[in-house]
Amino acid sequence: MFYRILCAVCCFTPITLLAQDTLKLTAGAELKLTGAVVITLENMHLDNDGLIAQAAGDGSFNFSGNNTTRLLGNTLPSFDVLEIAKTAGAQLTLQRNISVVSAINLNSGYLNLNNNNILLQPAALLNGESETSRITGTNGGFVEITRTLNAPVLVNPGNLGAIFTSSQNLGSTVIRRGHTAQPIGTGNSVNRYFDISPTNNTGLNATLRFQYLDAELNGLDEQSLSLWENAGNNTWSSIGFDNRNTTANYVEKTGLSGFSEWTLNVPAGSLPVKFISFNAICENEKISLVWKTAEEVNSSRFDIERTSNGVNWIIIGQVTASGYSQSEKTYTYNDAGPLFSGTMYRIVEYDLDGRRQYSGIVSASCDRKESIRVWPNPVEDIVRLNIYSNSQSQILLQVYDSKGALVLMQKDNLVQGSNQLTVPVQKLARGIYQLKATYQKGITKTFRLVKLNQ
C-alpha cells in the first residue's frame, strides 16, 4: 500500500484511514486543495462522506495500483482532474455519482460506471481512452456533458466520441454516453450508445460521427455496422450510414434533421446465430450453463467465457456448434471450478469464416442466495432486472407513484438460476416511483426508482 499527498498548498480537516486500504473523509470534514495538488491512492478506496469540491486548477486524484478499488460515500465529490493509472487490468469502480471539472485522464486500467453517472462540466475532457484503458459500464450508468453547439464543425464535446457538424444553432445540448447494449430485435447493439438532446432539434441537417472501440463491438461484424435511432418507445430503426471507417472506428450519417438516442448495430437478419435463451445454475457444486439457438448459419463453435469483474474475460471451455440449423438447438456446459459470488458468464459464437458474436451475460455462483438487482436508476425508458432464483416461480412486478397509486404491473416466469427481465417505463411521468417485486412464495423486495424524462 502506498499513499502520498503532493501539494503547494494543502488544507483539510481530519481524514481517517480505515483498514489500511481506505481513505475516509468523515461527515462535516472538508478536503480543500490548491496549487495543482496530486493525491495518489495506490490500491486504496476513497470513501467520501464530507466535502470534496475542487475547482479548475486545484489538482488531481490519481487512482493507481494493480487492485480493483472503489469510489463510494454519501456525498457527491467534485474532482478537478480524475486520473486512472491501474495496472494488470484493474479498475476503479464507482459506487456513487461523481462530477469532474477539468478532465478524466485514462492512463491505464478501467473506470467502471457500475450503474452510476459521471457529470462532466462544460470544459471537461475525457483523455487517453483506448482499447486497454477506457470507461466501461455494461450494467448501466452514463457520462454526461452539456455544451452549446452553434454551427459546430467536427465538434466532439468532452471527447466522448459523438462528433457534430451542422450549419444550425443546436443551442445547449446534453450528450449522454452509456455502455449498456441496447436490445434490438433478437439481438443486441454494441456496448455504447449516445442520448443527445439539443435545445433546438428540428431542421438541423446535421452530421453525426459515432466513434467506438473494438472492445465495445459486442461480437458484431464491424464491417456491417450502421446507425440505429430510438425515436421513442424503445423502437429502434436503422438509419444506415454514409461513411464507415473500421480503422478509425467510426460510423457517420449526414442529413439528420434532429437527434435522439443512437447506437450501432448490424442490419436485421445478418446475424449467423440467433440466441433465444441463456441460463446459469449451481448444481452439485458446479455451474451448469444452458443456452438455446433458434437457427444457425455457418456456425463453427461456442467459446464459454467467465469473468469476476466484468472486464477481464477468460475462456474456460468450448462446444462445437451445429453449423447449419433451422430448428431450436440446446447446448450445455458445466463449470466444474466456479469462482465465488459475482461470477459472470457469456457465450461467444464463432463462424466458419472467423466472425464472432456474443450472447447476453448471466451471473451465478454456488454460494448465492435469492437476489435481485435493478438498473439503470435513474431510468429513462427501460428498467432492467437481474434476478437469481433458487427455483422456478412466477414474479409479480408492480410500480407505484409517489401517492401510492399502482401505475404499472406485469407478471413473468422465473427459471431456476439467473433471469433477466425488463420493465418499460417510458410512458411514466418524471418523478419518484416504487418498484415492488414479489416472487418465490412471498419474497418481496422494493426499490426506489427515479424517472428522468417525460
Residue 368 confidence (pLDDT): 56
Q: Are residues 178 and 256 in the same domain?
A: yes
- The CATH number assigned to the domain holding 305 equals 2.60.40.10
Q: How far apart are CA 417 and CA 421, in angstroms?
A: 13
The conformational region for residue 73 under phi > 0 = left, psi -120 to 50 = alpha, else beta, is left
Q: What's the number of domains the chain is made of? A: 3
Write the pLDDT tens digit of every residue in 405-441: 899 999 888 877 777 788 888 889 988 999 999 887 6
* 140-149, 286-295, 313-322: the lowest-pLDDT one: 286-295
pLDDT of residue 134: 96
Q: Which residue has the cell 471451455?
A: 317
How large is the average pLDDT for residues 311-331? Answer: 88
Select from 397, 394, 372, 399 the least CA-distant residue to 440.
394
Task: Tell me what the pLDDT averaged over the chain comes to.
Answer: 86
Residue 303 has pLDDT above 60, yes or no: yes
Whether residue 165 contacts residue 206, with contact meaning beta carbons closer than 8 Å, is answered with yes
- Using the 3D structure, point to which of 212, 230, 265 is the last residue of a domain: 265
- Do 355 and 379 lie in one domain? The reply is no
- Could you tell me the pTM of the whole model? 0.64
User: Do the beta carbons of residue 112 and residue 137 sit within 8 Å?
Assistant: yes
Indicate if 250 and 292 belong to the same structural domain: no
pLDDT value at 18 more than 80 = no
Instruction: List, for residues 349-358, the tens digit of each pLDDT value.
Output: 888 877 777 7
Residues 147 and 100 in one domain: yes
Q: Which of these three, 363, 388, 411, is where a domain ends?
A: 363
Residues 253 and 293 in one domain: no
Name residue 335's beta-bridge partners. 287
Residue 77 structural domain: 2-265
Same domain, 296 and 227: no
What percent of the chain is predicted at pLDDT more than 90? 53
Report cis status (omega within 30 of 0) of the bond before 157.
Answer: no
Helices and strands (H, E) in the chain, number of each type = 0, 45
DSSP conformational letter for 248: T
CA distance 379 to 140: 10
- Going by DSSP bridges, is the β-strand pair 45-48/22-25 parallel, antiparallel, or unpaired? parallel
- Dist CA 394 CA 413 (whole Å): 4
Helix (H) or strand (E) holding 174, with range, is: strand 169-178
Say yes or no to pLDDT of 19 above 70: no
Cell numbers describing residue 404:
401510492
Distance separating alpha carbons of residues 96 and 389, to the nearest angstrom: 27
In degrees and rounded to multiples of 5, residue 216 shows phi and psi of: -100, 5
Amino acid at 335: D
End-of-domain residue from the set 224, 246, 265 = 265
Q: d(Cα 137, Cα 384) in Å, to the nearest integer?
A: 14
The torsion angle over the Cα atoms of residues 394, 400, 405 and 406, rounded to 10 degrees, is: -30
Kindly state whether residues 308 and 254 are assigned to the same domain. no
Same domain, 26 and 113: yes
- Do residues 323 and 349 lie in contact, with contact meaning Cβ atoms separated by under 8 Å? no
Query: How far apart are the C-alpha atoms of 151 and 71, rounded to whole Å?
Result: 38
Residue-wise pLDDT tens digits, 434-444:
999 988 767 78
Of residues 312 and 91, more confidence is placed in: 91
End-to-end alpha carbon distance in the chain: 48
User: Domain check: are 321 and 251 in the same one?
Assistant: no
CA–CA distance, 253 with 390 (Å, rounded to integer):
47
C-alpha cell at 46: 476513497
162 and 68 both lie in a single domain? yes
C-alpha distances (whole Å) from 60 to each of 8, 80, 105, 302, 388 are 13, 6, 10, 44, 40
Share above pLDDT 70 across residues of the chain, in percent, rounded to a whole number: 91
Instruction: Report, as an integer, the average pLDDT of 384-405.
Output: 86
In this structure, the answer to whether residues 416 and 342 fall within a common structural domain is no
Grid cell digits, residue 117: 453517472
Same domain, 238 and 300: no
